[in-house]
Amino acid sequence: MQETKQIRNVALLGHGKCGKTSLAEAILFTAGKGNRLGKVDDGTTTMDYDPEEIRRKTTINSSFNTYTWNKHEVYLIDTPGDDNFLNETVFAAQIVDSAVFTIGAVLGVKNQTEKFSSIIEERNLPALIFINKMDRERANFESTIAGIREHLPLTPAILHLPIGAESNFKGVVDIVGRKAYLFDGDTGKVKEGKIPADMANTVDTHREALMETVAETNDDLIEKFLEDGALSDDDLRQGLRNAVRNGALCPVAVGAATPNLGTSLLLDMINDYLPSPLDRPSQVGTDPKSEEVIERTPTADAPFSALVFKTMADPYAGRLTIFRIYSGTIANDAFYNASQECSEKINQLLVLEGKEQRPVESAGPGMIVAVTKLKDTVTGDTICAANAPILYDRLVAVEPTISYAVTPAQKGDEDKIFSSLNKLLEEDPTLRLTREAQTNEILLSGVGQIHLEVVGEKIKRKFGVELALKLPRIPYRETIKGKIKVQGKHKKQTGGHGQFADSWIEIEPLARGTGFQFEDRIVGGAIPKQYIPAVEKGVLEAMKEGILAGAPMVDVKVALVDGSFHAVDSSEMAFKISGSMAFKKGAKECNPILLEPIMGMTIKMPKECVGDVIGDLNGRRGRVMGMDSEAKCEVINAQVPMAEIQRYALDLTSITGGRGHFSTEFSHYEEVPAQLADKIIGAAQANATA
């Protein structure tokens, strides 16, 4: 087991198509982890190995590996850059000590780049910035740096200047060491060369700017800089190291991951500037019993504690539980799950290397390891030593934004589908599986359209069943506006005892959201007391399927005011039928209307998108209820019909360039406008007769 001070755990962050997976492959190849350089386009990468990832050429799941470089052991997480799988990135960023923030030199800083930089800022996560794809056509280092300074909440500190660009990208100049390094083929390594004469002044200017930037992060350094006009190499490096670990500065490196140009310099920077677990603050949790605050130092001799941040379901190997160790050491023994209040036995500790797994005897602070076939431990649980229990804050999953009704593609596969989905729920905390009581549909909710499509692909591949997704039916309701007194008389003679019941009821509307009220106003024994509950049952049965679109009827008061009975032919069943008949007959005369669910929405977006978002909401029959401002965004609170926002996640992404997000909750029911109600009622009646 490596000494804690020489351990790094690093997440590769960045928007989609910036080259994170290619960078991971280049890092592993340069560090001697494997004898080939994996390519995304060829489907040969170590990190993207699921068939869905290979086919789509994009990262869907966080993947893990480890490498050794200059006596440092580095645990690497390649995270998704697509919003549909953002939760994987958020969870990874919450458990690592540092990040390599990857930005493409061609596209530069885009809308999505801001989202990932916010994750770094919110976590105060020490980070390096790697400007990738310098070998591509239209690669522009200066404009990318300008975009970082203008749009991101990160302060770049340029350590490398590119020598050339596009097809002429052949090396970098190290600003701190004042040396030029030329690329040595596709090995990722470099050889020292001369600084190009036409770059000498630029290098001096950047070095002076770097010294000033580093000096401003520390009072002692700023004094030295003002007195001497410069910083020594040692002061510059140490000041930079401290500033990076405090989150004040982000060193900038340049390279090209796909052809593996200059990766060794990045590996050196990870070792030199990114923190070990010892450089990070102690982890804070609570005592499960007393709820007192506890700190755990990231040392090997502290009590063992770790946080489970990912679970993977495999139909053959079973559940794979992945956790990051914050303190102490663990061996192939047992641990206590403070979240579930139970003990679990470890069969074998594993270090993940892409889709492969390497057994280890023990693991300590900063290490990311896995265990198979745990029974009770799930994502978000705190595991620890039984004699020193602690609870860390649970990871909070990204909320779902889109829902579909899910059914098996083939009849008879219902049980297989839902057992498979339940296994994926363990793996993916952003999935929700619920039943809509009114429509009787099973709803699968996720972060986006592609997210749910991938879930379907995984289930088909892993469990051999296929699911079908369709937009859910809207749970409309019906009510009345008028008042009436109506008779329901049921009389039937079939030989022997007949059926007879006569009920007079008054129907009137109630305030929206009241539900249903039944009142017994029978006097003089017109209907015997034992038959009165049967009338109410008949009314309730009739209300289950209204008279317009077959939707439940609500907000109605029914009073039983009169009636008659037959001493022989009357029965509970007869009065139930009588009550149902009376209600159906009367409801038609009470100006029945259709109601639709209205959702409360909270939408967050950049200020420049507010007008477009409000205009779009108006087109969806929405009402803006208020607006607020937050540090980096504007917030709109609105009420919008559910029927208008079933695919809103896709539309908001388009309107805001991926920078907007929203949440919804049920608010109330409102009357559907007449012209829309006619269409809905017509469609429902057509389906009923089909």
Looking at the chain, the domain(s) classified CATH 3.30.230.10 span 478-590
What would the CATH number be for the domain defined by 478-590?
A: 3.30.230.10
Which residues in the chain land under pLDDT 70? 1, 314-317, 495-496, 690
- Asked if 597 and 478 count as a contact pair (C-beta separation under 8 A), the reply is no
Q: What angle do CA 414, 416, 421 make, to 5 degrees?
A: 95
| CATH superfamily, with its number, for domain 402-470 | Elongation Factor G (Translational Gtpase), domain 3 (3.30.70.870)
Looking at the chain, the domain(s) classified CATH 3.30.70.870 span 402-470
| Angstrom distance (rounded) from CA 355 to CA 347 | 19
- The HSE-up count of residue 348 (CA atoms within 13 Å, CB side) is 10
- Asked if 15 and 113 count as a contact pair (C-beta separation under 8 A), the reply is yes
Looking at the chain, the domain(s) classified CATH 3.40.50.300 span 4-279
Looking at the chain, the domain(s) classified CATH 3.30.70.240 span 595-685
The reported pLDDT for the residue numbered 462 is 87
Please name the residues in contact with 555: beta carbons below 8 A apart, sequence gap of 6 or more: 479, 509, 510, 511, 512, 513, 514, 515, 516
The reported pLDDT for the residue numbered 1 is 62
Please name the residues in contact with 36: beta carbons below 8 A apart, sequence gap of 6 or more: 29, 44
The reported pLDDT for the residue numbered 78 is 98
The one-letter amino acid at 483: K
Name the fold adopted by 4-279: Rossmann fold (3.40.50)
Instruction: Compute how many other C-beta atoms are within 10 angstroms of the C-beta atom of residue 591.
Output: 13
Q: What is the pLDDT of residues 80-138, one digit of tens each?
A: 999 999 999 999 999 999 999 999 999 999 888 988 999 999 999 999 999 999 999 99
3-class secondary structure, 176: coil
| Angstrom distance (rounded) from CA 72 to CA 78 | 19
CA distances (Å), 264 to each of 259, 270, 301, 537, in order? 13, 10, 33, 78
What would the CATH number be for the domain defined by 283-384?
A: 2.40.30.10
The reported pLDDT for the residue numbered 690 is 67
The reported pLDDT for the residue numbered 556 is 97
Name the fold adopted by 595-685: Alpha-Beta Plaits (3.30.70)
First-to-last C-alpha distance (Å) of the chain? 69
Looking at the chain, the domain(s) classified CATH 2.40.30.10 span 283-384
Chain-centroid distance of CA 133 in Å reads 28
Range list of β-strands (E), 397-509? 402-408, 432-436, 441-446, 467-470, 477-480, 484-492, 499-509
